[in-house]
Amino acid sequence: MAALESETRQSYLVFACGSSWYAVPAEAAAEVVTFPELTRVPGSPPHLLGVFAHRGEVIPVVDMSLLVGGVTAGSRRAVLVRLPRGTLALTASSVAGVSPVQGPLEPLGPTGVHVHLRGPGKSGTRDVAVIDPEGLFDHLSQGA
């Protein structure tokens, strides 16, 4: 229980993709960017919108709405999530800022991407799903 309590006191960058709100640990959120025209990756799944070069690094852009089974948000903004193994850009239609997230933060499903989304969480009055960045990176690396 102690690990769960410390997790709920952590600061998160809270952002929306379409009508859903997400949160990533603040220490993993490098910056919010407006991305340029993307280069498509042949054979990639629909949620991988493409890649772009940013400060000498090629960064994949993942549409969170499409990834979780929704409709694309059509945003040109993204949260850059920097991990030891690389950087991901997660589309963001709105950014609320950094705040704590309260809640049990259990996996939102038994399979797929939902294993790497935790909740139900609350950031102020918003319902949010907390993204496990390392788990999401692994999930996407396996061709999801």
Reported as a single tens digit per residue, the pLDDT across 53-96 is: 999 999 999 999 999 987 887 889 999 999 999 999 999 999 99
Q: What are the tokens at 109?
A: 């499903």
Q: Spelled out in words, what is the top-level CATH class assigned to the domain 2-141?
A: mainly beta
pTM: 0.90
**Alpha helix (H) residue ranges in the chain:** 2-8, 64-67, 133-141
Q: Using a CB cutoff of 8 Å and minimum separation of 24, what contacts does 119-128 make?
A: 121/23, 123/12, 123/14, 123/21, 123/23, 123/96, 123/99, 124/96, 124/99, 126/14, 126/21, 126/96, 127/21, 128/12, 128/14, 128/21, 128/22, 128/23, 128/101
The answer to whether the Cα torsion of 40, 46, 51, 57 is positive or negative is negative
Domain boundaries, the chain: 2-141
Residue 4 in this model has a pLDDT that exceeds 50: no
Q: How confident is the model at residue 9 (pLDDT cuts 50, 70, 90)?
A: low
